[in-house]
Chain A
Amino acid sequence: MKFGILVNEGPYTHQSSDSAFKFAQAAIAKGHEVTRVFFYHDGVNNATRLTVPPVDDRHVVNRWAELGEKHGVDLVVCIAAAQRRGLLDDNEAKRQGKDANNIHPAFRISGLGQLVEAGIQNDRLVTFGD
């Protein structure tokens, strides 16, 4: 079965991203396909490559990145939500005249249509949030 996942909250403050990750990992382990994880609202904060958690804690951002790379999960960050919150990839940083970018390369920035599309193209869309 094909799953899409929507993550609405940032890492560490809420458990949402952890629950979504554990769900995605379990779905893949059972032979399902997780085609896309869409990060919306404060969920866009899951994509910042500048995250530095304490060494004895899980690394939420890198964990998503590794899952995405290993299993071909499309990690999509909502562009409008990301820009509001100061998250930019290289292209957007240049376009907006900013001197830095902070999106992890395993994630890509795109429009909200990617969320609707995930609802259309997958058998299930599961939401994790607050």
Chain B
Amino acid sequence: MSDDMDMEDGGTIKKFMFVNRKAPYGTIYALEALEVVLISAAFEQDVSMAFVDDGVYQLMKGINSEGTELKNFSKTYRALDGYDIEKLYVEQESLEARGLTEDDLLVDVTVMSAAELAATMAEQDVVISH
């Protein structure tokens, strides 16, 4: 990705939030969204991911896609830490509405109320959703 690194912005650091509201596997959005997040790590921006609505299903433990032959990208969420992407925000209301708790998720996350997440989202420079 060396051509992507030729930037003229002189070290601008912006707050990027990637908002995930779609369940994985039924569509490709979750997988391709994750690819953007991984690339963003190379730009040394202030990156966070928010998991809202069906997006929380992306983080389920115990995913096994052998039967469907879809590419299992669960382990990529575990690798985010290695890319210094540590701000993973999960909306409490979305978990509750799906009968889930933090224990059901495969990575360490920060669970936030809708009000907290709304305030965090409002202070971003760039919000990207898929």
**Interface positions of A (Cβ within 8 A of B):** 6, 8, 40-41, 80-81, 110-117, 119-121, 125, 127, 129
27 contacts between A and B (CB under 8 A): A6-B128, A8-B130, A40-B32, A41-B28, A80-B32, A81-B32, A110-B3, A110-B4, A111-B39, A112-B4, A112-B39, A113-B3, A113-B4, A113-B5, A113-B42, A115-B39, A116-B40, A116-B43, A116-B45, A117-B4, A117-B43, A119-B125, A119-B128, A120-B43, A121-B7, A127-B128, A129-B130
**B98 interface residue per 8 A CB criterion:** no
Majority secondary structure of chain A interface residues (helix, strand, loop or mixed): helix
The answer to whether A113 touches B29, judged by C-beta atoms less than 8 angstroms apart, is no
Extra contacts, 16 of them, besides A80-B32, A112-B39 (Cβ < 8 A), are A6-B128, A41-B32, A81-B32, A110-B4, A111-B39, A112-B4, A113-B3, A113-B43, A115-B128, A116-B40, A117-B43, A119-B125, A120-B14, A120-B126, A121-B7, A129-B129
Q: Write the nearest CB–CB distance from A108 to chain B, whole angstroms.
A: 11
**B89 interface residue per 8 A CB criterion:** no
A69 to B23, CA, bound (A): 38
The answer to whether A111 touches B4, judged by C-beta atoms less than 8 angstroms apart, is yes
Q: Provide the residues of chain A in CB contact with B129, threshold 8 Å.
A: 127, 129
Q: Can you list, as one digit per residue, whether each of B24-43 has a CB less than 8 Å from chain A (1) or not (0)?
A: 00001100100110011011
CB closest chain-B residue, reference A124: B126
**B12 interface residue per 8 A CB criterion:** yes
| For the complex of A and B, 7 pairs with smallest distance between CB atoms | A113-B4, A119-B126, A112-B39, A116-B40, A111-B4, A116-B43, A111-B1
Q: Contacts A41-B29, A111-B4, A119-B128 known; A80 to B35 CB distance under 8 Å? A: yes
Please classify how large the interface on chain B is, using the bins under 10, 10 to 19, 20 to 34, 35 or more: 20 to 34
CB closest chain-B residue, reference A40: B32
A113 to B37, CA, bound (A): 10
**B8 interface residue per 8 A CB criterion:** yes
Q: Which residues of B12-66 are within 8 A (CB) of A?
A: 12, 14, 16, 28-29, 32, 35-36, 39-40, 42-43, 45
Most A C-beta atoms less than 10 A away, residue of B4, B5, B12, B45: B4
Q: Provide the residues of chain B in CB contact with A40, threshold 8 Å.
A: 32, 36, 130
Q: Contacts A41-B29, A81-B32 known; A114 to B4 CB distance under 8 Å? A: yes
A16 to B50, CA, bound (A): 23
